[in-house]
Every structure is written in C-alpha cells, then in structure tokens.
Structure 1
Amino acid sequence: MYQEHQYVQKCLQQIEERLDWGSSDAWHNDMFIELSGVIQQETKVLLSPVTLKRVWGRIDYKSAPSITTLNTLAQFAGYQNWRDFKAKGVVKRGFGISKKIRVNLGVIMLSASIMTLIFISFYSLKSPDNVPQPIDASKVVFESRPISKSLPNSVVFNLDLSEINADSIHIQQYWDPTKTIPLSANQRQATGQYYLPGYFRAKLIADGKIIKQHDLFIKTEGWLATLDYQPIPKYLKAEDSEEGKLGLSKTLIEELATNEKPLTSTYHLVEDFKSVSGDNFELRSTIKNTYRDKWAVCQNAAIFILGTKGAMIISFAIPGCTSELGLMMNDVYIDGKEHDLSNLGVDLSEPKEIKIHVKDKKLSIFLENRQLFTGSYREDMGRIAGVRYRFLGAGEVYSSKLSSLKEEFIIPLL
C-alpha cells in the first residue's frame, strides 16, 4: 500500500458516485474503456484502461499512480488538481472515524457476535420449505430480435421468468449497467432501444446475479454515417455521402463549424464478413482529414475493427499531438502518455493508404508500406463483425478492403 492510497481510494469513491455505474467490483473491460474516453473528453487527458484498472486494483501493480494520473482523476472528480483534492481534507475526516472504530472495536465485535447468533437461530427455526431453491437457467427463456434493419433500432426480448423468484429482475442491454430494463416476474416481453450498430451482449440479471446472456447483433444496411452528438447521434442520409467515397456535405461541415464543443463524425459498417478471423486479417484503407478548425487542430482520426469477442482501435493525429493518442489491441492498451507513439503522427490532409495487418494475434500498421507499429495481444478477437472510421470533425474514406489471411479472399467494403 503506497503512501497516498487512502486519498486515492476516496477519490475513486467520489468518481464512482458521480458515474452511478454500480459497484466497480462488477466493472468489466468495456467499462474501463468507456471510462477512459469519458475522462479524456472532460479533462483532455487520456488515461488508458490499463492505467485505470491498476488504480482500481483490478491489475496487480505495486507502484503509486503518477502525478499526471492523480491530477486527472482529481479533475474528473471535480477538483482543480491532486493538491486541491487533498487540501479539502476528505480523507482526514475519515481517519477520525477509523480511530473511533478502533477504540470501540471490542464493543463492535461483541455486538456483531450476538447479531450473528440471533441470525443463525432465526434461520435454523425456519422450515426447509422456505429455503430459496437454485434457479434452473435451462427453464428460463431469454431471447431477442431486432425490430428493423435500420437505426435507431428497437429490440424485442421474449421472456419466461416463472423459474425466477427474486426481488429485482432486469435486462442489462450491454456493457453499461445503467442501461437496464426493469422486469416483473410475470412479464413475457420487453423492448430496448439501440442508437448505434455493434455486437452487444445482453444479460438477464436477478438480484445482481447473471442468469442468462446472449449476443445481440445490430447491423447496418451498407455504410452508415453519423454526427456523434450525445446521447443521440445524428444519422446522415445517403445523399450526405459523396458517390465513390464516404464524406460529409458542405452543409454538414458548416454544422460542425458552428458547434462549440468537439464533435466527431463516424462511418459504420457492421455485418457478417464471411467468418473472417479477427486474429488473421488485413484491412487496407485510404482516408483523409477534411476539417482542422477550432477544436480539430490535431487532425485526430481512428480506425475501429469490431470483433465478436473484442475490438481494436488505432488512432492517428498530426505529429505534434501524438502524446494524446492511444492504441488498443483487444486486451492490450498502449497509452501515448507512457509510450512513444510518435510514428502514429501522420499528416492526413491528403489521402493516404493505411494497412492494418494481423497474423496470429500480432498487429502491424503501415502507412503506404512504411511500418509504423508492431505489437501483440493475447485474447481471441472472435470473428470480425464491423469496421468504423472516426474523425474529430470530418474526414473522408476513399477505399476500404478487408482480406482474410486464413482463407485468402478479399471483401471490397468500399
């Protein structure tokens, strides 16, 4: 336990209360990825999901967090910096409580022992008929189907919950535990709303325990473009993309220019790709940045490869902004604050071809045949389920070709 551990724990507690995502003990990988993005959007500092997992104790790491990490967490919690957070004295008040607890520890333990005996005696007198029986998940029905082929999309869940005896039953639509649908025990159907395409995992949860879960595939009909307003994106009609390439109209560029806050635009293609392995593929893309005014001076662009079991996110910016970049290879995240990602600083003011080559979980990135990066990951990506191109501001995609390295075929996406 490092010197400021108690301060850090109090800061994390305040962040959890602010997020209202439920107990961090139940957070999984996708939630730390999302938290990384939320923190970056608010503080303009990127803390990698790996760094966040270390701070939250999900990865065994003995060293204290860096001052950059502490300042960023404090800012996200509502303070000016780490010094300001400590100056508020929130932990010192806790020390007094801890001292009182230590002084009265004997009384507390005696009381706890008495309550335990009462509890055991009470339940020993109860009839065995009243003991809750385990749920037979095979008799529980939890199925889903999307209503339409477009977005936004509603999903119908078919249910049979007669085997479940619980105080709280709900559906968690995807990784975010706040996006839930409450259920009653006799309910036969429920519906959920999805605003973006993707490969999701829906969960049926009773009294905090996952009873059943299944994958849910929200596809696009060809390419879909969005302006990524929160919480609901703006969907762009087909005529908003120029023929032969993906791009935004002048009207939409003007809309970006009038927006006071940073706004991204994204091109999505989510569908079945003939069982292309996410661990053995090649994606060739020709892209260009087309907007660099106001908050888009760094010319950020990113390519997402969505798998049925994971994802890759490869980001680019002009050379002077690479400190803010990050690169995600499924279960491995590389933070530009902690690693040299300067090779991913590229000028995309003119169309450039980027090749993403993955063979046996080894990633190589090329810019017009010049290698920019190589690295490996461990967890299976599953099948490729989608591709996204995201630009801070606006950008264009001139070509996109996906190749399978196992079965040696090419899918022209654009």
Structure 2
Amino acid sequence: MMNNGADLEQCKRLIETSLGWGDAATWTNEDFDTLSDRIFEKTSVRLSISTLKRIWGKVRYDSSPTTATLNALARYAGFEGWRDFMATTQPPAKPSPAHEAPPAPQKSPTRRFITPLIIITITFAVLISFISARIIHPPAANLPLRFDHRATSDELPNSVVFDYDATPMHPKTVMIQQAWDPKRREKVDPYGKQHTSIYYYPGYFRSKLIVDGELKMQSDVFIPTKGWKAIIIGDPLPIYLSAAETTLDSGRLSINAATLQAKTGSPVFNSKWTGFFDVHQFAGISGDHFLLRTTVRNTSTVEQCLCRNVSITVMGKLSAIIFPLTDRGCISDIGLYTGFTGVSGKDHDLSAFGCDFSQWQQIVCAQKDQTLDMWLNGRLIYTKPGNRSIGDIVGIRIGFEGTGEIKEATLQGGGVPQDLLKQP
C-alpha cells in the first residue's frame, strides 16, 4: 500500500497537527496511551501503545502496518479509510504525451455570452442559499452546546437525567456515553433535550456527549455509597448483597461460598467477582498524597476458583490505581494499573504479586512526591517515580474472584508509613 512510507508520514503529520502536542519525538508513553484512547473513541478500533510507538518510530520494527491499522489512522485523521486518504491526498497523474487531450474548440459568440450568464445565475443562487442558511441556522458559535446531569436518588441503582442540546451543530447523530467505556454509548435524538441512564454501580464516571462521532462535552457523574456496599458483578445486571450477608460478628467484611453459590447458582466461581465498594468524597485526600492500608485474603479453594484473584482499586476523579493479587501460578494473567499506564503480566515479571492465600495478605499502596509504591507483607514489590496524580480520592474497591474476606481497610493522606520504611 506504500512505496517508501511517505503516505504514512503525511497521515502522521495530519494527526500530530490535530493533536497539537508538539514534536512527536518528545511524546511520552502516557501520550501514546491517550492517543490510543482517542483513536478508539472515534473509530472503535483499539491500537495498542506498542503499535503506535512502532508507527512513530519509538520502537524499531521492520514490518509495514496492517491494513486495519492504516484504516484506523486514516479514519482518525478525518477520512473514510486508507483508500480515501490516498485518493484525497495524492495529486492526479499527468497524462502521457501520447495521450494528451486535444486543444479545446473555440467558443462561439453565443457560448461566450451564455457561459457568464450561467455563472452569474449560479453565484446568485448560492448567495441566496447562504443567506437563507444563516437566517434559518444561525452560526454555532453564537449558540453554545449544553450537557449536564442530575441524579434522581441517593441509593443504588440510580437513574441520571442528562440535559443536552446539540442543535447548534445541526448534527446527524448524537450519542451519550455513560463512562470511559465506549460500549456504554446510547444513541439519542439529535434534536432532543433529555436522556436518562441507569447506573448500577457506584463510582465517579466521566460521561460524554458525542456529536457526529466527535467528543464535544463531558459531565462528571458521581454515584456514592453509604458505607461499604457488596455487589456481585453481573452482566447485564449485578446482584446486591445485604449487610447481613457480608458482615461477620468480628466486623470483618466477607462473602462465603454458600452465599455466592446461592446467588449465582454455581459451585464454581471462575470469573465470578464480588466487589466491596466504599465510595464517597475523602475530604483532604488527593491522588498525589495518600496511603491505603488493607489486609485481605481470597478464601476460595482451588477447586472452586483456579486463580483466586484479588483486585484493590483506589478511585480518583481523573483515573484509578489497581493493585492485583493472585495465586502464585497465575501471575501471567494479571496486570496492574498506575493511573495512566498499565503493566501486563504477559510481558513483565509480576511474580511478586503471587500469594499464598492460606495466609492473610497485608497491602500498602501509597503515593508521595510523585512516587507510587506498592508493598505486600512488608516488602516493597513495585515502585514508579514520576507517577501522575489520579485526582481527588473518591473511593475504594476491593474485589474477589470467588470468595474473600477483608480484615481492615483504611485510607489517609500521607506517604509510606514509618514502620515500612524500617523494613530491611
């Protein structure tokens, strides 16, 4: 599809200009992560960070991009696909001397008169149409878009009413996306004013107004809990658990095998997750200066759940940090998330996150001075300097694949505690 890569270079320049991020040579891993998200939002095609870095020459790779990759890049640049990009941007070939067009015949006096008359008539018609369009459809700059919301309850589930107005853009399609996930888009009336959505899970969601495929406005939806709330994750609908079903006499939070089997109808818990949510405004605690300490264990047997995964999440207004745990033999399938960068067990050794779940696991996750630290049982197992803040903290989620128990969980401002700093 390319002779020397010049076509791809031109497409890249168009994308760089639209982004306005400056010289691509200075782009960071987080910039490529953001570009991947933007391409996905516009084209519904996910190009990995490694693919984008290869295209922009950050990683050496001798093979040419696939047709699917080229189509996604061209569509993001504003074309229907790679063929359309090539047809639009390449100049037409000059005819060979042997096939030059014959000289144009001389116009007769009558045609010399008729041609200007036609031009004047067309110009006048276009001018009238333009003036009419300005009267009927005033410029969009004078009529701002609208996109805001209000919740209808303080309980779960919670319906949210979106008030929107995209009419200044004379749109063909308008969609409202509940959160970061493009799968949660709903098509709405382009000239409508209201739309409602149900939120079944607590959290902080950045809803989006998508007009003709372009993100135009965002509105932050906050769905809190009243203390800890246990939810069996389900598709399409979750299952809520009562406090009596999840609170032990000692005050610990737990879900046992009998409860999970009764709710799901199966004694095998692979891929069946229960999340314990505590979502509210943690006043004075931000993503650049916090300390989460919790003690947990997955109580499933290997016969009930093969890998017995655990996921501890710190939710911020801008993103989230995810601390994974798993059976020692399953570290290949886990991944951690630092807020804006993912680390996969497929191409990183995450064996330090493997556990013996016959014992309690003590977790500390802390950020201070732009350094993220993850500790397990008193040992530092992961650190990342220069980590971006996830914004003000708005929640904790502790999830178990299968059954599990939480002994304690506290979140406070501050960095790594002194008792850990004294560890050898």
The aligned counterpart of 1:174 is: 179
Q: SS at the partner of 1:258?
A: coil
Alpha-carbon deviation of 1:298?
Answer: 2.1
* Preserved contact between residue 268 and residue 305 of structure 2 (Cα < 8 Å): no
How do residues 10-49 of structure 1 correspond to structure 2 at under 5 angstroms?
28=37
Q: Is the 8 A contact 1:357 1:365 kept in 2?
A: yes
1:53-202 to structure 2, matched below 5 A, reads 53-55=49-51, 60=56, 61-64=58-61, 126-130=129-133, 134-136=139-141, 139-161=144-166, 163-184=168-189, 187-202=192-207
Q: Tell me the TM-score normalised to structure 1 length.
A: 0.68
2:175 and 2:153 map into 1 onto residues whose CA distance is: 23
Aligned to 2:297: 288
User: Does the CA contact (< 8 Å) of 1:262 and 1:295 recur in 2?
Assistant: no
Q: Is the 8 A contact 2:365 2:374 kept in 1?
A: yes
Q: Tell me the SS of whatever aligns to 1:276.
A: coil
Q: Cα RMSD between the aligned structures?
A: 4.3
Quote how far apart the aligned CAs of 1:204 are.
2.1
Is residue 2:402 matched to residue 1:397?
no
By how many angstroms is 1:147 displaced?
1.3
- Cα shift at 1:289: 0.9
Q: Which residue does the alignment assign to 2:338? A: 329
d(CA) in 2 for partners of 1:128, 1:63: 55
Structure 1 partner of 2:11: none
Q: Deviations over 1:77-102 (max 9, x none)?
A: xxxxxxxxxxxxxxxxxxxxxxxxxx
Q: Distance in 1 between matches of 2:315 and 2:177?
A: 20
Quick check: which has more Rg, 1 or 2?
2
CA distance in 2, matches of 1:65, 1:302: 38
Q: Once the 2 structures are TM-superposed, how far is the Cα of residue 59 of structure 1 from its aligned partner?
A: 7.5
- In structure 2, the partner of 1:233 is 238
Residue 402 of structure 1 and its aligned partner are, at CA, apart by 0.7
Matched with 1:52 is 48
Q: Helix, strand or coil: the match of 1:145? A: strand
Give the Å deviation of 1:127.
Answer: 2.2
TM-score, length-normalised on structure 2? 0.67
State the identity %: 31
Match for residue 217 of structure 2? 212
For structure 1, the 5+ residue unaligned runs are 6-23, 36-48, 71-104, 108-120, 409-414
Deviations along 1:166-224, whole A, 9 cap, x unmatched?
A: 22223222223342343335533221111211111122232223332211101112111
- State the match for 1:265 in structure 2: 274
Is the counterpart of residue 364 in structure 1 residue 367 in structure 2?
A: no
Q: Secondary structure at the match of 2:352?
A: helix
Matches of 1:318 and 1:379, distance apart in 2: 29
Retained in 1: the 8 A contact 2:270–2:402?
no
**Residues 331 and 377 of structure 1 are in contact (CA less than 8 Å); yes or no, is this contact kept in structure 2?**
no
Secondary structure of residue in 2 paired with 1:317: strand
Question: What is the DSSP-based 3-state SS (H/G/I as helix, E as strand, rest coil) of the residue aligned with 1:266?
Answer: strand
User: Residue type matched to 1:290 in 2?
Assistant: T
Count of residue correspondences: 334
Select which of 259, 263, 266 maps to 1:252: 259
Q: Take 1:348 and 1:259, find their aligned partners in 2: how far apart are those partners?
A: 18
Equivalence for 2:71: none
Distance 1:361 1:192, change over 3 A: same
Contact residue 289 and residue 350 of structure 1 kept, 8 A: no
Residue of structure 2 equivalent to 1:278: 287
Partner Cα separation in structure 1 for residue 329 and residue 412 of structure 2: 33
SS of equivalent to 1:281: strand
Check if 1:350 corresponds to 2:353: no
Question: Which 10-residue stretch deviates more, 147-156 or 292-301?
Answer: 292-301
Secondary structure of the corresponding residue to residue 166 of structure 1: coil
CA deviation string 1:242-268 (max 9, x = no partner) = 230111145324346535752111111
